[in-house]
């Protein structure tokens, strides 16, 4: 169960966005599963759920057979806030970059969390997986996100409860 301070933090996030309870998804959590699913994102999702903030987390809200892009795009369209949990492998994922670009294009409020990475370390490497236009769009969204004041967390030097009570 979440501590009172963690619940208070989650409520504060919800209060910063008036009318948040009117949508199917209040908060969209963008993350790279390989880096964060069993740590920071899972705890954040559970804390939000405990205070009745409806968070979209792919591993919790999607069922086998669901089309990723359809569900992700719908959830981003309905959310009020996007929390992007940047991690070392975040920029290697087409889906993470797609989510980030859509959040930015939709002018959603974005709260960056830098998990085990500094903003200056985030970069998109040229890849055959992206078209030139996608690379440009993803790079622009990443630069915009890096310019937003976020929350940094280093799992080797910090405690997760300090992040949750931030």
Q: Which residues are catalytic?
A: 99
The pair of three-digit structure tokens given for residue 65, joined into one six-digit string: 């057979």
Q: How far apart are CA 18 and CA 143, in angstroms?
A: 27
The C-alpha torsion from 150 through 26 and 90 to 164, rounded to 10°, is 50
Alpha-carbon span 26 to 56, nearest angstrom? 8
Would you state the structure tokens that stand for residue 3, as one six-digit string? 């501590």
Tokens 């705890």 — which residue? 43
């Amino acid at each position: 169960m979440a501590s009172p301070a963690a619940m208070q933090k989650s409520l504060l996030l919800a209060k910063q966005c008036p009318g948040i309870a009117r949508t199917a998804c209040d908060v969209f959590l963008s993350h790279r599963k390989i880096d964060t699913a069993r740590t920071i994102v899972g705890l954040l999702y559970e804390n939000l759920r405990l205070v009745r903030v409806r968070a979209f987390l792919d591993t919790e809200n999607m069922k086998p057979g669901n089309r990723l892009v359809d569900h992700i795009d719908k959830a981003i369209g309905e959310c009020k806030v996007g929390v992007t949990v940047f991690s070392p492998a975040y920029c290697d994922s087409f889906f993470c970059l797609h989510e980030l670009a859509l959040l930015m294009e939709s002018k959603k409020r974005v709260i960056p969390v830098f998990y085990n990475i500094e903003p200056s370390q985030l970069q998109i490497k040229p890849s055959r997986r992206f078209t030139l236009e996608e690379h440009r769009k993803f790079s622009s969204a990443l630069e915009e996100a890096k310019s937003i004041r976020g929350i940094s967390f280093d799992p080797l030097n910090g405690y997760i409860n300090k992040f949750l009570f931030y």
